[in-house]
Amino acid sequence: MALMPLTIAAAFLLGPQELGSSSSAASNPEEIEMKRMMSMAIVLGTASALHAQELLVNGSLEGRSGAAACTWDNPSTGSTMIPGWTVSGPWNVDWVYYAAPCAQICPRDGSRYVDLNGSLIVTAPASAIAQTVGTVTGLRYRFSVFAMCNSVYSTVGEFKTLRVSVDQSITEFALLIVSNTADCPSPLWEEIVVCFTALGPKTTIELRSMFPDNAGGIFVDAATLSVIECAMDIDQSATVDALDLALVLQHWGLVSPEYPQADIDGDGNVGAADLTLVLSHWGPCP
């Protein structure tokens, strides 16, 4: 008789003495089942927590609530004034503080947002902010940020470019310049999404305006980073199936640098927990 996926998982989660034909195993099947279910619950609960947690610090760019309403700070290159973030330059950014009623653009979230083109230096080019986060090698992540063109000193109907860098990988997005209004909440915020596979235990994400002039740059706010839920789809076929199971079994043991994705739960070892994640998520990805 063919074994069902969860039966196979149980064989790895429980020792052979519990699944064999010993008298203690045969006489207490309820205890074996309880242990199997508890083991699976621990594995799946750990993975669920990993997937659900927010990995960025201060994605909504809050801080310094005591600042004067409807004004902005101008942190320069190297500044860590914005909690969790570093201004990666080469010039300052505008860290705008909104408090109703204001003529400033309403934030996407909270009371703060950043204009990546600072307004202190008339000749200053575009600037950027960055954050380095802890990641698990081989896991896939979804980074999201809301962006909007500042229409000041700009031609409505043209485009400005936002560059999102994940370590050395660069993705650029063309944002349409639309005349800003003080409506709150503003309908002009546009979600930008980048998905990536972590190449190491730390990943640096940078948001950079490619608009060359001072002021009138690109607003950013409400950034998030999370593990992609279908990390069990190791071969990225959109289905968790026998090929993913084979990859786990083929790379059993210490994480292989050639295929780190097989370590789904990121504990540094391809083992029973990873096997259980594959088998318990069998079928199409959500």
Domain with CATH 2.60.120.260 in the chain: 71-227
pLDDT for position 167:
95
Cis amide bond preceding 75, omega within 30: no
User: 71-227 falls under which CATH superfamily?
Assistant: Galactose-binding domain-like (2.60.120.260)
pLDDT for position 70:
83
Residue 127 tokens read as: 């600037």
pLDDT for position 88:
95
- The pTM for the full model equals 0.67
pLDDT for position 219:
95
pLDDT for position 33:
53
Query: If DSSP states are collapsed to H, E and C, what string results for the chain?
Result: CCCCHHHHHHHHHCCHHHHCCCHHHHHCHHHHHHHHHHHHHHHHHHHHHHHHCCCCCCCCCCCCCCCCCCEEECCCCCCCCCCCCEECCCCCCEEEECCCCCCCCCCCCCCEEEECCCCCCCCCCCCEEEEEEECCCCCEEEEEEEEEECCCCCCCCCEEEEEEEECCEEEEEEEECCCCCCCCCCCCCEEEEEEEECCCCEEEEEEEECCCCCCCCEEEEEEEEEECCCCCCCCCCCEECHHHHHHHHHCCEECCCCCHHHCCCCCCEECHHHHHHHHHCCEECC
pLDDT by residue, tens only, the chain of 286 residues? 434 444 444 444 444 444 344 444 445 666 655 555 454 444 444 444 444 467 999 999 999 766 777 888 999 999 999 999 999 989 899 999 988 788 788 999 999 999 999 887 655 578 999 999 999 887 888 899 999 998 887 888 999 999 999 999 999 999 999 988 878 878 899 999 888 888 999 999 999 999 887 667 899 999 999 987 788 888 878 899 999 999 999 999 988 767 778 888 777 789 999 999 999 889 988 7
